[in-house]
């Protein structure tokens, strides 16, 4: 389609009129980053001027940055918890936001082991949709012809609960997929999915995955991109294909749907998709999937795929080698950076190598401040306001912790992400995601910190007391090579009565005890989603951790400051630990999880 040249964008020639509007929007926002940030803060403070939270800090209706920064403290989730609990228990007064709280978005766990409850307002859906609407116009600058086929995206909803006060609590993507914004989205040739809404919205994860995979297989030649939100989701889909290709091939050859798909809306919709037997396709699937070699399976089954659309930055980087193996070297594209609290920005070069990905924060999404992050600096004192830097003032090369103020009413809230400035696009900085603070282990959207791991280890090792045995040292490893990935804990034991060592069964139960102590997000993913495998304890020989210290010192660590790493991820260290393993133990059963909040 011809595009008005006046609407052409410095990012590149847009693919269609709609794209040119989106690209110009990015242009405008990034050129005026500081002015947009000032406007956003002003709007947030004006609308929320009468909220209890802003009044508590005597903002007195001020909407300027200086007053805001001088009066409002920087906070973490735990600081807000008492107010959040009031909302969860039914207090409908304007605590954080002048707009009614529409629901809670659940995300990574807190120190209390429960998932966080982030209050949100209905209007945030518009902002999320706006960010989504910018992704394809940017992608179209790099990959042509995406309107000539479909995207095979494995998207899922998860269980939702209600708080005692009656508000829904669910993950942000579940909220988005269930919204009218998603369900009744207008037709867009660049955004056609193989998965029907009924499959995405089916709460039963087997039925949802089965039908999404079946649609992907039936439409295999139309598929131009394959993706999931995070890398772990796409690998889960491949694992599913490994386990269920026979049933899928059977359905395709019979032209009939597996009776295990019982959801009436889903059956009805699938009856329009799987209309007649296709023995040839069934034979093809059988031929590709029955072999031992799954290398490049994605390109073999979906030969027109141009790229894999999955986030592999941050904790998901551990999956890159596996995705490269199954993807036969297809480019991996990381398109956006977002959280339950707010969606932040997008990658303006979506085909760049994962190690070079930078996200441009869109200044219209929320008001952002940056706490300079120097890994060795002392903790920030609460009495002296930290020297926060505005979005437009961050410096290339420096690392910062992201602090946000949102339309939903979070004020100067620490997201917990450490970002490094790589460059600027116009006057908007671009950030490489460095890591999440305090997260040791992550397989899917679970995030386990050091304190939790320590507590889980303490609870589990209590089972060893009757064997007069204790854990002298431990470390951990997120094993992403198996699908699903799982937590591995290395234990060095002190067995005081060698004639009565802990039994294999007890060590298995220690695995389960650790899982029972981990947070509810972990247990949900493990139990309801099956996206984390059973936790494993690997017992290592006596003296292993001393050898590990010698190794670290030989590589330059200071002997005085050496601390046992509570998580290891470099392959030589993992190989070293594995070479000292004397026994391996797995959780014999899934941990307790129920959808009720305690
Ligand atoms: P949640 O609050 O559970 O929705 O998770 C949001 C968090 O996921 C962010 O704060 C980041 O730590 C992480 N995350 C989201 N998008 C990305 C990305 N593109 N790259 C790396 N980490 C990300």
For residue 339, the CA-to-ligand 1 centroid distance in Å is 5
Q: Specify the residue with its C-alpha closest to ligand 1, atom 3.
A: 107
Q: Specify the residue with its C-alpha closest to ligand 1, atom 9.
A: 339
Does residue 241 have its Cβ closer than 6 Å to ligand 1?
no
Q: Specify the residue with its C-alpha closest to ligand 1, atom 8.
A: 339
Does residue 338 have its Cβ closer than 6 Å to ligand 1?
yes
Rounded CA-CA distance 198/559 in Å is: 59
Q: Specify the residue with its C-alpha closest to ligand 1, atom 13.
A: 339
Q: Is 282 helix (H, G, I), strand (E, B) or coil?
A: helix
Of 129-133, 466-470, 522-526, 546-550, the one with minimum mean pLDDT is 546-550
474 or 387: which leads in pLDDT: 474
For residue 337, the CA-to-ligand 1 centroid distance in Å is 6
Pocket test for ligand 1, best of 228, 338, 414 (most atoms within 8 A of CB): 338
Pocket test for ligand 1, best of 76, 105, 120, 339 (most atoms within 8 A of CB): 339
Rounded CA-CA distance 522/512 in Å is: 13
pLDDT at 7: 56
For residue 474, the CA-to-ligand 1 centroid distance in Å is 28
H/E stretch holding 231: helix 231-254
Rounded CA-CA distance 404/152 in Å is: 33
Report the predicted TM-score, pTM, of the whole model to 2 decimal places.
0.86
Which ligand 1 atom minimizes the distance to the CA of 347? 19
The alpha helices in 313-472, defined as continuous H runs, are 320-326, 450-461
For residue 106, the CA-to-ligand 1 centroid distance in Å is 13
Rounded CA-CA distance 368/392 in Å is: 10
For residue 309, the CA-to-ligand 1 centroid distance in Å is 15
For residue 435, the CA-to-ligand 1 centroid distance in Å is 9
Does residue 318 have its Cβ closer than 6 Å to ligand 1?
no
The mean pLDDT of 254-263, rounded to a whole number, is 98
**Residues 316-362 pLDDT 10s:** 888 898 899 999 999 999 999 999 999 999 999 999 999 999 999 99
Pocket test for ligand 1, best of 346, 413, 436 (most atoms within 8 A of CB): 436
For residue 338, the CA-to-ligand 1 centroid distance in Å is 6
pLDDT at 5: 44
Rounded CA-CA distance 418/406 in Å is: 19
Does residue 26 have its Cβ closer than 6 Å to ligand 1?
no
| In the predicted structure, residue 556 carries a pLDDT above the cut 90 | no
Instruction: Tell me the pLDDT band of 562, cut-offs 50, 70 and 90.
Output: confident
**Residues 416-445 pLDDT 10s:** 999 999 999 999 999 999 988 888 999 998
Pocket test for ligand 1, best of 106, 337, 446, 524 (most atoms within 8 A of CB): 337
Does residue 105 have its Cβ closer than 6 Å to ligand 1?
no
Does residue 337 have its Cβ closer than 6 Å to ligand 1?
yes
* Cβ proximity of 228 and 154 under 8 Å: yes
Q: Is 275 helix (H, G, I), strand (E, B) or coil?
A: coil
**Residues 175-196 pLDDT 10s:** 999 999 999 999 999 999 999 9
Does residue 108 have its Cβ closer than 6 Å to ligand 1?
yes
- Domain residue ranges in the chain: 17-100+354-436, 144-159+171-305, 441-586
Rounded CA-CA distance 492/486 in Å is: 20
Rounded CA-CA distance 403/73 in Å is: 11
Does residue 33 have its Cβ closer than 6 Å to ligand 1?
no
Which ligand 1 atom minimizes the distance to the CA of 447? 3
Q: Please choose, from the candidates 333, 343, 388, the residue with its C-alpha nearest in 3D space to the C-alpha of residue 120.
A: 343
pLDDT at 73: 96
Does residue 313 have its Cβ closer than 6 Å to ligand 1?
yes
């Amino acid at each position: 389609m011809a595009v008005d040249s006046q609407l052409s964008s410095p990012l590149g020639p847009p693919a269609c009129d709609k794209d040119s509007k989106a690209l110009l929007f990015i242009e405008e926002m990034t050129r005026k980053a500081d002015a947009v940030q000032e406007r956003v803060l002003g709007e947030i403070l004006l609308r929320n001027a009468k909220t209890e939270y802003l009044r508590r800090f005597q903002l007195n209706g001020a909407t300027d940055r200086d007053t805001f920064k001088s009066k409002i403290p920087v906070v973490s989730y735990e600081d807000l918890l008492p107010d959040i609990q009031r909302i969860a228990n039914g207090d409908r007064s304007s605590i954080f936001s002048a707009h009614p709280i529409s629901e809670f978005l659940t995300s990574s766990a807190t120190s209390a082991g429960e998932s966080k409850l982030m209050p949100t307002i209905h209007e945030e859906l518009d902002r999320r949709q706006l960010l989504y609407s910018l992704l394809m116009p940017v992608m179209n600058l790099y990959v042509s012809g995406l309107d000539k086929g479909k995207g095979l995206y494995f998207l899922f909803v998860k269980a939702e609960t209600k708080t005692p006060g009656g508000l829904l609590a669910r993950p942000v993507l579940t909220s988005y997929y269930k919204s009218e914004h998603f369900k009744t989205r207008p037709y867009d040739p660049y955004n056609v999915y193989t998965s029907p809404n009924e499959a995405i919205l089916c709460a039963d994860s087997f039925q949802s995955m089965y039908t999404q995979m079946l649609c992907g297989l039936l439409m295999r030649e139309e598929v131009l991109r394959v993706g999931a939100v995070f890398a772990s989701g796409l690998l889960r889909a491949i694992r599913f294909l490994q386990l269920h290709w026979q049933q899928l091939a059977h359905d395709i050859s019979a032209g009939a749907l597996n009776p295990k798909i019982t959801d009436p809306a889903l059956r009805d919709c699938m009856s329009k998709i799987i209309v007649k037997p296709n023995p040839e396709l069934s034979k093809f699937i059988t031929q590709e999937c029955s072999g031992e070699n799954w290398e490049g399976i994605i390109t073999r089954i979906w030969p027109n795929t141009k790229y894999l659309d999955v986030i592999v930055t941050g904790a998901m980087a551990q999956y890159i080698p596996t995705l490269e193996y199954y993807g036969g070297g297809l480019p991996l594209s990381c398109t956006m950076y977002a959280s339950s609290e707010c969606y932040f920005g997008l990658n303006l070069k979506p085909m760049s190598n994962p190690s070079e990905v930078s996200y441009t924060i869109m200044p219209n999404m929320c008001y952002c401040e940056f706490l300079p992050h120097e890994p060795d600096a002392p903790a920030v004192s609460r009495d002296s306001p930290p020297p926060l830097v505005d979005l437009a003032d961050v410096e290339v090369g420096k690392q910062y912790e992201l602090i946000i103020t949102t339309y939903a009413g979070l004020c100067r809230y620490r997201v917990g992400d450490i970002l490094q400035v790589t460059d600027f696009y116009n006057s908007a900085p671009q950030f490489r995601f460095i890591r999440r603070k305090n997260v040791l282990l992550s397989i899917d959207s679970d995030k386990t910190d050091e304190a939790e791991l320590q507590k889980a280890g303490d609870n589990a090792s209590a089972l060893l007391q009757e064997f007069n045995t204790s854990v002298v040292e431990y470390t951990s490893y997120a094993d992403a090579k198996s699908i699903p990935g799982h937590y591995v804990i290395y234990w060095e034991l002190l067995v005081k009565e060698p004639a009565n060592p802990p039994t294999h069964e007890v060590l298995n139960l220690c695995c389960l005890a650790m899982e029972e102590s981990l947070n509810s997000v972990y247990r949900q993913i493990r139990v309801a989603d099956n996206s984390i495998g059973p936790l494993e304890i690997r017992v290592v020989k006596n003296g292993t951790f001393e050898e590990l210290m010698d190794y670290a010192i030989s590589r330059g660590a200071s002997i005085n400051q050496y601390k046992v790493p509570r998580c290891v991820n470099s392959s030589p260290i993992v190989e070293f630990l594995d070479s000292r393993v004397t026994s391996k133990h797995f959780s014999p059963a899934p941990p307790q999880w129920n959808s009720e909040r305690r």
